[in-house]
Structure 1
């Protein structure tokens, strides 16, 4: 048994020494970020965004209910209404804004709305829009109007 113990010791010592003699060579680890937000290559941005978009299973409930509950005709009518209201707002704006860009105090009435522009303290103007059918109104102040 002593020969076997001696042989085992010699074998283990040789294996341990072989590991020490050969040594392991490695270069230092260097962290290189992938995400361009944290200093990575800017070319990675679109790829990361595409991956994130593909993995995103969340749907905004407010957007989903708008598009799924409206027919194509309803969506078209809604867009048409917004376009017409935008033109009406542009024409009202041109009648309440002077050539120098300042608001002119006064009242403008359209079919459904009344817009009142009043001079208040410190040269500010208060714009109040009232819905004639419901009586609801909204007000905001514009500074620097003369």
Structure 2
């Protein structure tokens, strides 16, 4: 039991469809143009403050307390003075050790120098090269480097 659509109704529907297609505006396309937002890349300078505020609002990182003034990592003037004094004393010890391993001509000389906590051994490797080996008497840890004897 299929009903058939009368021919008048079909013609009417086809006419409406044709009229809708003719009356529809023509689709048009334009060229896509990139406009930068960030002022660093050519965008408007007025966007700078807005972008900076948005970035700062999203920033989850905080500065460590030790680098902030008055933080727990800050040294008092007395601690700073003590550290400077310690460096000065160590500098004098290094100078004293250096004078005992240097000859009158200013060049390193072979031999062994013993200080309170360290043993400094200078060995000639030949070819104008010297090896300087420093050993910690307490821990036994050692380090060495090579220098030209010139």
Q: Determine the structure 1 residue equivalent to 2:120.
A: 115
Counterpart selection for 2:73 from 57, 68, 71 = 68
Q: Deviations over 1:47-103 (max 9, x none)?
A: xxxxxxxxxxx97x6x838x9343333222211111001011111111111111111
SS for the counterpart of 2:127 is helix
Q: Cα RMSD between the aligned structures?
A: 2.7
Show the counterpart of 2:52.
Answer: none
Given candidates 117, 129, 138, the residue that maps to 2:134 is 129
Determine the C-alpha separation between the residues in 2 that align with 1:100 and 1:86.
22
- 2:104 corresponds to which of 99, 102, 110: 99
After superposition, residues 32-111 of structure 1 pair within 5 angstroms as: 64=67, 68-111=73-116
Task: Give the unaligned 5+ runs of structure 2.
Answer: 1-61
Question: How many pairs are equivalent?
Answer: 86
Runs of 4+ deviating beyond 6 Å? none
Larger Rg: 2
Normalization by structure 1: what TM-score?
0.51
Structure 1 70/136 Cα, relative in aligned 2: closer, same or farther at 3 Å? farther
